[in-house]
Structure 1
């Protein structure tokens, strides 16, 4: 199984962020009665939905991608899961005056806010599962220190107020307000970036059918734009520190390669996962499927590789299967350095 630098970092930081958000929700609902135990229960609630990543231990990578941010992130799960986990916590804490409604609330709002935060990121979240529609505002990356670190400070500051309930709630509420405000500021910044991309396309008289604008890793300053035209995708970057026009690079769809694999269920599943942003490529007589949504890992002309790319292979039984292209940690580190330099503007 391929190990991808960003995936490991993403899961660590995303988990930390969701733990903080869940902890703050638990604190807001039950902190007056349970003190820091409420933060613990909220942190557990913030963690549970992402346990769907463990599906990779029991199934293939494509199925694991299909499962991620599905049922466990849905309103249905929030309703029934909160009743189950809330009841267990109620049994443990009712002697401290915790009401059943409060115990259920910790988990219900912990699950719901987890999913809502995910909706703001770049990976689609099927909050209305079983309807297979992934919601994604694409306003913040899953790793964003400007969201996580101030929020963590306010939550920890609140936890130190063990006796002064008013101050405890003040710091906790401030963390929720600041973090939520940042998400809406990110939406505003996305709107500005979107306008910059569409203006650049208009100046170049580019005819396009769709455009996706999203932030790059860990910031809301440098934005990535993926533009679909009839035969290709154009990918460009825009930083708020730029002084020159946006430069787009073209990647042909190469749908002819896909026609060789027509009506194959694996291909159909990959296309659905990619939300339509994909290309085919060929290297050494092997066909590759490239998911464009998360950009390039290597952007050199001689060594081009997308963050998520799959190679089609035929097994010993003559059955067509796919293998995720392996990624090296050093490539991820190098890309981060390039993005940092690009963020400073051109």
Structure 2
């Protein structure tokens, strides 16, 4: 999740554990610990793909954070021995460990079992979701105003946790909604990703990887009886096979479960992470190789500039979330077609 959300979650938990003893200082300490795992972004691993796939790696591992929490608790107990070591452990452990656990519910991928396992992504939350973050922020602000009241923090923690539960249930409902469509196209066993559209769990995007094409479906809970619509995008398997021969291409495919689009741009082999963002506005595209004499020569991967977002994208997205319009064409990122089809 975004840094504001992680800080708000850490502050909330810090306040619940030690707010009665440390007051506002507990919130500050919890917020700092809650954002600490993301400090790995300052590390340069040597290439764009390495930086991308090793973020949320060791710094988000339970095998790293749990021992770190114990060490920090020991140091803090030495500083303030009147607070029990167990209470300090609860303070540091909750603030640190809930960071990667929350990230697991997003789509990016979090290596909570590093170095023994791959990335885990439940994909039921968008990286920025006001419905999750606002209760935490309100609880924190109330406590800052009246630091003797822990109840607002407890209520905000319950509400935000319940929202995570709703997101998982909503994801399952969307998966069941599109199952007949996928079965009709004989791709119900194909790799599938069900995730919320930006900023809400009321509108969802389903991505399915067929043998030679990719299906995209946008469907929401405010669509009424509107049947989900399917958009089809080509998949270039020749370029995919070429990318899979490259070490960084293999690393990228492992990290994304091969939810990638490959294309040749000016004799450059590029791979785009299609899980994140939207078609036409995917933020992560990497140059993996350059073609010379008919052969792909591997490069130290580079990330291409992030595409610009249309000025009216937020209003368009809001109209689709609320059901004001029933079609959002991902290929063009617009809602208006003459036939109502994409």
User: Which TM-score applies when normalising by structure 1?
Assistant: 0.84
2:258: which partner in 1? 276
The counterpart of 1:82, out of the listed 44, 57, 69, is: 69
Q: After superposition, give the CA deviation of every residue in 1:101-144 in whole Å (9 maximum; x if it has no partner).
A: 22222111111111211111122112122122222221111100
TM-superposed CA distance for 1:213, in Å, is 0.2
* 1:297/1:332 contact within 8 Å kept: no
Output the CA distance in 1 between the equivalents of 2:243 and 2:258.
16
Answer yes or no: is 1:35 the counterpart of 2:23.
yes
Whether the 8 Å CA contact 1:200–1:245 is kept in 2: the answer is no
Q: How high is the TM-score relative to the length of structure 2?
A: 0.85
Check conservation: 2:268, 2:291, Cα contact below 8 A: no
The CA RMSD over aligned residues, in Å, is 2.4
Equivalent position of 2:127 in the other structure: 142
Alignment of structure 1 residues 175-324 onto 2, 5 Å: 175-204=156-185, 206=187, 208-242=189-223, 243-261=225-243, 263-298=245-280, 306-314=282-290, 320-324=299-303
The question of 1:59 aligning with 2:59 is answered: no
For residue 99 of structure 1, report the CA deviation from its aligned partner. 2.1
Q: How far apart are 1:36 and its partner, in Å?
A: 1.2
Paired residues of 2:222 and 2:322 also in contact (CA < 8 A)? yes
Match of 2:109 in 1: 124
The whole-number CA distance in structure 1 between the counterparts of 2:123 and 2:110 is 11
Relative to structure 1, the CA distance from residue 337 to residue 325 in structure 2 (aligned partners, 3 Å threshold; closer, same or farther) is farther
Does the residue aligned with 2:114 lie in a helix, a strand or coil? coil
Q: Deviations over 1:305-327 (max 9, x none)?
A: 633222334499x7523322212
TM-fit CA distance, 1:211: 1.3
The count of aligned residue pairs is: 319
- Structure 2 unaligned residues grouped into runs of 5+: 327-342
Partner Cα separation in structure 2 for residue 124 and residue 313 of structure 1:
24
1: distance between equivalents of 2:78 and 2:139?
30
The structure carrying a bigger helix percent of its residues is 1
Is the Cα–Cα contact under 8 Å of residues 226 and 234 in structure 1 kept in the other structure? yes
Note the alpha carbon deviations across 1:292-317, whole angstroms, 9 max, x for none.
1114352xxxxxx633222334499x
Who is 1:341 aligned against? Answer: 319
